[in-house]
């Protein structure tokens, strides 16, 4: 997270708000104060001028009345002289000039000695004309303010009527310097502006200090929030007080503690879920509400032969290869399992998919969970079980049908025929022995499948053991078949169950004799592989051989390459299957190689430790 610029920080905003509020308050107070002060000063100025003119008004009125009544004697001063005496000394800092005007607008006197030439002249003044025309109007209409063109100062003009009875006999025209009042106001405004500036500076400093009491805890909480976003929950926010921000800091610390506990719980649950998803044999795929893959565990990736990086955000129907048949909505409402066949004719591969929608309380589907299970082996077992039942039924039905036919014939009177009866009884006996062998083989396979048997192992010189079995078959054979034996001269001791191993060799050699043509040869060989610590035993014939596509199936139960010929030779189809189970129980392996019309070779291995030979030497 980038650092906050000072000009964008809440600190500056607090100070600006504080300063602007103070400045606004000062401006409002200043405007109100200046306006009221200015009005008061102006009123005081005008009142003082009027008060100073009141005695003069009375004296001038008496002089004009005396002059108009003719009571003035010759030895008394004239009206102009009397007025001039009264006006003497009126000039001051505030009063510019005072003029006395008679009823005919003539200047009777002036207080400005430098302007004595205006005495006796008519004075054309709009204010005076309005006064003489209207009589004695209200005082507000007898004053005005103007700006002197020469000095640029504001002047206040006052016209005071001289009334005798009900007649206006003259007027006092006063010009005063009201600019002094405005100068005082300018000085006061300057003082107020300076005081405002000082107040704002002090306010800004106090605002910074006060803002820190708010911004410091907020900055600490911001820093702590950044650390929390990075996963660090060990810090705590300092509590600076018990006000609202202090309560916020305490709540923030409690929130941090709760989040830490929740994170620990979440991490634990996440590890559990990850462990479950990783070690479960079923594949699990999760999608979002649009059907895009957001999670896939290793078993699912392995089942579909994909990588996590390539399937994330892929559509689930597309991933499963069913986009032409099903949409995401179809899978969300799919209650039954789907069977996905990814196999070929040579290699079957079948998956079963179950789907479960992730729904909120409102019923809105927010995702989908798909569980994949590899049922290839199960399907194979089911197929083998069905085939096994069919083969057993077929193998039992054939001798039973034959026996029933012969027994029915005997029951109908054939037993009285001395030539046919013995033949029918011999056939019945043969089929009975065949069924007994089949049932015994099945019982033996059943025991081996259930592991309900024990090997009675003992140390045996396998070369001598193998040679005895070969000699037994050599002496009892009725076919024109030769034996070729290639065995080590020195004894080789292995730990085996002689009964089980005898059965293995009997089954393999019997098959070789059955399928060997007249004049053929059967080979017996033992090869020692000291590096691999195993012994390889092989039996070969020169029969019809086995097609390559059928070679891998000959160790399966009831499997026959040529069923008609095998049944004719009396086989049950379980000999090699029993041999495989017994060799596997001894810790070895069994396999075959064959070339059509040239013969078949059966191999099996047994564990062999060369170092143990010294103990038996």
At 309, is the pLDDT very low, low, confident or very high (cuts 50, 70, 90)? confident
Q: What is the rounded CA–CA span in Å between residue 164 and residue 171?
A: 11
Q: Name which of 466, 385, 445 is nearest 575 in CA terms.
A: 445
From residue 76, give the alpha-carbon distance in Å to each of 62, 64, 66, 87, 100.
14, 14, 11, 18, 20
- At residue 8, the pLDDT reads 58
For the chain, give me the number of helices (H) and strands (E)?
16, 17
Q: What angle do CA 429, 430, 436 make, to 5 degrees?
A: 90
Task: Please tell me if the domain spanning 11-184 has the same topology as the one spanning 277-375.
Answer: yes
- The CA distances from residue 323 to 317, 319, 331, in Å, are 5, 8, 10
pLDDT of 499 higher than 50:
yes
| Structure-model confidence comparison of residues 466 and 419, the more confident one | 466
Domain definitions of the chain by residue range? 11-184, 277-375, 380-448, 456-607
Q: Is the pLDDT of residue 612 over 70?
A: no
3-state secondary structure of 206: helix
Question: How far does CA 273 lie from the centroid of its chain?
Answer: 17
Say if residues 613 and 463 touch (Cβ distance below 8 Å): no
The pLDDT value given to residue 532: 78
Buried/exposed 371-404: b ≥16 CB within 10 Å, e otherwise: bbbbbbeebeeeeeeeebeebbeebeeebeeebe
Reduced 3-state DSSP string for 435-475:
HHHHHHHHHHHHHHHHCCCCCCCEEEEHHHHHHHHHHHHHH
pLDDT at 11: 65
The string of DSSP codes covering 10-56 is: HHHHHHHHHHHHHHHHHHHHHHHHHHHHHHHHHHHHHHHHHHHHHHH
Higher per-residue pLDDT: 124 or 451: 124
Q: Which CATH code fits 456-607?
A: 3.30.565.10
Q: Which of 581, 548, 538, 575 is nearest to 559 (CA)?
A: 575
Cross-strand partners of 523: 484, 540
Contact (CB, 8 A) for 107 and 83: no
CATH architecture of 11-184: 2-Layer Sandwich (3.30)
**Range with top average pLDDT, 14-18, 274-278, 437-441, 485-489:** 485-489
Q: What is the CA radius of gyration of the chain?
A: 65
Mean pLDDT of 506-531: 87
Q: Is the pLDDT of residue 150 over 50?
A: yes
Q: Give CA–CA dist 507/557, Å, rounded.
A: 14
pLDDT at 566 over 50: no
Q: What is the pTM of this model?
A: 0.42
467 falls in which pLDDT band (50, 70, 90)? very high
CB-CB contact of 10 with 218 (8 Å): yes
How is domain 277-375 classified at the CATH fold level? Beta-Lactamase (3.30.450)
With vertex at residue 581, the alpha carbon angle to CA 558 and CA 456, rounded to the nearest 5 degrees, is 135
Nearest to 506 by CA among 444, 551, 458, 593: 444
Check pLDDT > 70 for residue 9. Answer: no
Q: 273-292: buried (b, 16+ CB within 10 Å) or exposed (e) per residue?
A: eeeebeeeeebbbbbeeebb
Percent of the chain scoring above 70 in pLDDT: 88
Separation CA 216–CA 54 (nearest Å): 69
Checking if the pLDDT of 97 tops 50, the result is yes
Q: What are φ and ψ of residue 160, in 5° steps? A: -110, 120
Q: Which fold has domain 380-448?
A: Helix Hairpins (1.10.287)
Residue 270, both tokens: 């996440």
Question: For residue 341, what are its two tokens?
Answer: 């066949």
15 in Cβ contact with 204 (< 8 Å): yes
């Amino acid at each position: 997270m980038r650092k906050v610029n000072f000009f964008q920080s809440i600190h500056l905003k607090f100070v600006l708000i504080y300063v602007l509020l103070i400045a606004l308050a000062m401006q409002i107070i200043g405007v109100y104060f200046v306006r009221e002060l200015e009005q008061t000063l102006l009123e005081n100025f005008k009142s003082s001028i009027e008060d100073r003119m009141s005695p003069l008004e009375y004296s001038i009125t008496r002089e004009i009345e005396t002059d108009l009544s003719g009571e003035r004697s010759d030895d008394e001063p004239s009206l102009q002289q009397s007025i001039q005496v009264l006006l003497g000394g009126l000039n001051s800092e505030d009063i510019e000039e005072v003029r006395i005007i008679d009823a005919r607008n003539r200047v009777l006197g002036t207080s400005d000695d430098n302007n004595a030439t205006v005495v006796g002249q008519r004075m054309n003044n709009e204010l005076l004309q309005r006064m003489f025309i209207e009589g004695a109007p209200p005082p507000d209409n007898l004053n005005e303010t103007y700006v002197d063109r020469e000095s640029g100062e504001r002047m206040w003009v006052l016209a005071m009527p001289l009334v005798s009875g009900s007649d206006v006999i003259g007027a006092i025209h006063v010009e005063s310097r009201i600019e002094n009042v405005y100068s005082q106001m300018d000085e006061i405004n300057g003082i107020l502006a300076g005081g405002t500036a000082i107040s704002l500076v002090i306010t800004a400093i106090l605002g910074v200090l006060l803002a820190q009491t708010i911004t410091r805890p907020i900055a600490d909480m911001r820093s702590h929030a950044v650390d929390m976003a990075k996963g660090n929950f060990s810090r705590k926010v300092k509590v600076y007080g018990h006000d609202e921000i202090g309560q916020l800091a305490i709540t923030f610390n409690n929130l941090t503690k709760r989040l830490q506990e929740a994170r620990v719980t979440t991490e634990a649950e996440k590890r559990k879920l990850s462990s479950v998803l990783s070690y479960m044999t079923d594949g699990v795929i999760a999608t979002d509400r649009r059907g895009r893959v957001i999670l896939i565990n290793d078993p699912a990736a392995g089942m579909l032969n994909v990588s996590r990086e390539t399937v994330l955000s892929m559509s689930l129907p597309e991933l499963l290869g069913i986009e032409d048949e099903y949409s995401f909505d179809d899978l969300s409402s799919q209650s039954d399992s789907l069977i996905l066949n990814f196999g070929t004719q040579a290699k079957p591969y079948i998956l079963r998919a179950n789907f479960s929608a992730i729904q909120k309380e409102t019923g809105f589907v927010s995702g989908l969970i798909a569980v994949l299970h590899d049922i290839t082996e199960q399907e194979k077992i089911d197929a083998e079980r069905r085939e096994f039942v069919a083969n057993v039924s077929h193998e039992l039905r054939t001798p039973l049908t034959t026996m029933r036919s012969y027994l029915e014939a005997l029951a109908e009177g054939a037993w009285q025929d001395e030539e046919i009866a013995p033949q029918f009884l011999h056939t019945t006996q043969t089929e009975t022995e065949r069924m007994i062998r089949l049932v015994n083989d099945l019982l033996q396979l059943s025991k081996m499948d259930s592991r309900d048997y024990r090997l009675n192992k003992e140390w045996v010189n396998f070369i001598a053991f193998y040679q005895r079995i070969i000699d037994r078959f050599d002496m009892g054979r009725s076919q024109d078949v030769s034996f070729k034996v290639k065995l080590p001269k020195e004894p080789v001791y292995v730990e085996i169950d002689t009964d089980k191993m005898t059965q293995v060799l009997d089954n393999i050699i019997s098959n070789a004799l059955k399928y060997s043509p007249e004049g053929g040869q059967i080979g017996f060989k033992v090869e020692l592989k000291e590096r691999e610590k195993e012994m390889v035993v092989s039996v070969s014939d020169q029969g019809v051989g086995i097609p390559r596509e059928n070679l891998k199936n000959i160790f399966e139960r009831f499997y026959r390459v040529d069923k008609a010929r095998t049944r004719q030779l009396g086989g049950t189809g379980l000999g090699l299957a029993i041999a495989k189970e017994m060799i596997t129980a001894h810790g070895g392996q069994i396999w075959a190689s064959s070339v059509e019309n040239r013969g078949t070779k059966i191999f099996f291995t047994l564990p062999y430790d060369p170092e143990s030979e010294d103990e038996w030497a």
